[in-house]
Chain A
Amino acid sequence: MEGSLFEPTLYIVKGMCILDNDGNRILAKYYDKDILPTTKEQKAFEKNLFNKTHRANAEIIMLEGLTCVYKSNVDLFFYVMGSSHENELILQSVLNALYESVSILLRRNVEKRVLMENLDAVMLAFDEICDGGVILDSDPTSIVGRTALRTEDVPLGEQTVAQVLQSAKEQLKWSLLK
């Protein structure tokens, strides 16, 4: 029987995307050249997917031969797609990794405005979770650890110290000039 057993492959993820509450793409990646090869087809699929899922928060849907697991928060929708002959729970674990890492990166404010402000870090997280359809990592803490959040924090601290020094210097200068 064709497709009865799961294929022993690592190319499990067919696509991942984040949509806003109008169903517009914020970020999307498709990993299989045979599935949705053009942007036009991808966006049509995303619209369809959004229309079918934005009201019912039902976690999983079978659509156009793909299994899509999803999760939403405030004005963002997270999707992970895989083939319909795939272990759904593996896809779910990828979705959890995506959502949790973004959530940590946005300091728990999972909404569009904050996400757009941190788009660079979210793009890197996307890249750390899945490489060409292969699950690279599914542990949110290690994913976030690799998305260079560290550097974001360090210069911020240095900056404030530098700013403090700068303002102190200026104050001193003014007091001397008087």
Chain B
Amino acid sequence: MSSFRRDKKEEEDGGANMFQNLDKTTLLQEARYFNSTPVNPKKCIHILTKIIYLLNQGEKLTTQEATDIFFATTKLFQSKDVMLRRLVYLSIKELSSLAQDVIIVTSSLTKDMTGKEDLYRAAAIRALCSITDSTMLQAIERYMKQAIVDKNPAVSSAALVSALHLSATVPDLVRRWVNEAQEAIMSDNMMVSYHALAVVAGARRNDRLSTVKLVTKLSRAPIRSPYALCLLIRHAAKLAEEDPSEASEPYLEFIESCLRHKSEIVVYEAAHAVVNLRKSARDLAQAVSVLQIFCGSSKATLRLAGARTLAKLTTKHPSAVSACTVDLENLISDPNRSVATLAVTTLLATGAESSIDR
């Protein structure tokens, strides 16, 4: 009986079989196949998939093994097959930290990032920025600036996100791309404007005055991207926290105006910020009522977000939370245990005699 069951299981796994019992010695052998011409895309895609899968499973490669595979992979640039090319980029990124002399593909990638095929360009930019060091970067700086303001959102996003990663190692260089990034903030594409805002704000991180300017200007601009708005709320909240005087009033007004946004993500972001910034319980009412609605949502994530923010508020303003007692009581028997636990602890902190009876 047990053997029958096992057979059945193996049968069910059918498609998974080719990924079982993979070992790296065989794969290293198979990678040699990449050297043969002309390239057979289907077979190479299959081998590359297995290599990336094995790395993803946590298999360790020595520097020599990784370098061997990496160099074999570079031969696949001959093929024009989009799927294969994309997997080559992916394996370049996966192997870049393990193999030696990875900069050898710089020129191939530069060619792809400036080429005609949009599907290549975005992915090539990301792969290129993962292998280049600061000296090589200057050579591609011109292309990066162009890519940031490219019409294709995927290309623009790829360049901006890469710039963001690079700003950790070469901040001075990336700071020179801010003008282009600033232009991209007003993009119609939601992700591009989000990424661009992050690059610009990141470059001004240590300059309070220009951050103030940026936030003030953008809080009046019609930004549609929910992610970008969340980021802007975070910067505004940070400014307000650093300087709690009258001057922070415009930031708080902007954040409160976001409580009426149509996206739940933005509403929650704003409510969370207000709850952490406002001092008096009266000013909190609007944000608390939003969180109260979240507690009654059918989505567990919203209930948790609401309950968790209210739970934090109890230490500061127990009176403001007491308005939500009934909603929190409903959450005690919530199917999600994290939500139920939060509700119980919050109620214990705010509870009065009257609520114990119920």
> B154 within 8 Å of A by Cβ?
yes
CB < 8 Å neighbour of A88 from B119, B158, B201, B305: B305
Please name all residues of chain B whose beta carbon is closer than 8 Å to the beta carbon of A29 when the two chains form the complex: 56
**Is the interface on chain B under 10, 10 to 19, 20 to 34, or 35 or more residues?**
35 or more
The distance in angstroms between the C-alpha atoms of A135 and B272, with both chains bound, is 21
Contacts of B235 in A (CB 8 A): 8
Q: How many angstroms between the C-alpha atoms of A108 and B276 in the bound complex?
A: 42
Q: Are B15 and A117 in contact (CB under 8 A)?
A: yes
Identify whether the interface residues of B are mostly helix, strand, loop, or mixed. Answer: helix
* Least CB separation from B154: chain A residue: A146
| Complex interface: chain A residues within 8 A of B174 (CB) | none
Q: Known contacts being A5-B234, A69-B301, A138-B191, is A89 close to B201, with CB within 8 Å?
A: no
The smallest beta-carbon distance between B290 and chain A, in angstroms, is 12
B61 CB-CB contact with A under 8 Å: no
Are B83 and A152 within 8 A (Cβ)?
Answer: yes
Cβ–Cβ contact A124 & B58, under 8 A: no
In the bound assembly, the distance between CA atoms of A71 and B312 in angstroms comes to: 27
B195, A119: Cβ atoms closer than 8 Å? no
User: Which of B57, B276, B336 interacts with A58 by CB under 8 Å?
Assistant: B336
B105 at the interface (CB under 8 A from A): no
In the assembled complex, the Cα of A116 lies from the Cα of B56 at a distance in Å of: 14
B304 closest partner in A (C-beta): A60
Q: Which residue of A lies closest to B12 (CB)?
A: A113
Q: Mark B71-85, 1 if CB is under 8 A from A, else 0.
A: 000000000011100
Stretch with Cβ within 8 A of A (4 or more), from B27-35, B45-53, B108-116, B135-143: B45-53
Residues of B within 8 A of A8 (CB): 201, 231, 234-235, 238
Partner of A87, one of B18, B82, B230, B338: B230
Residue of A nearest to B198 (CB): A10
Stretch at the interface among B263-271, B280-288, B322-330, B350-358: B263-271
Q: Select the residue from A7, A87, A138 with max chain B CB neighbours within 10 A.
A: A87
Measured in the bound complex, the distance between the Cα atoms of B20 and A113 in whole Å is 12
Instruction: Give the residues in chain B near A93, CB-CB below 8 Å.
Output: 265
Interchain CB contact under 8 A, A59 and B299: yes
A60 and B49 within 8 A (CB): no
Which chain A residues have a beta carbon within 8 Å of chain B's beta carbons?
A: 1, 4-8, 10, 25, 27-29, 39, 42-43, 56, 58-62, 69, 87-93, 112-114, 116-117, 119-121, 123-124, 127, 131-132, 134-139, 142, 146-148, 150-152
Which are the 5 A-B pairs with shortest beta-carbon distances?
A: A39-B58, A59-B300, A8-B234, A58-B336, A151-B82
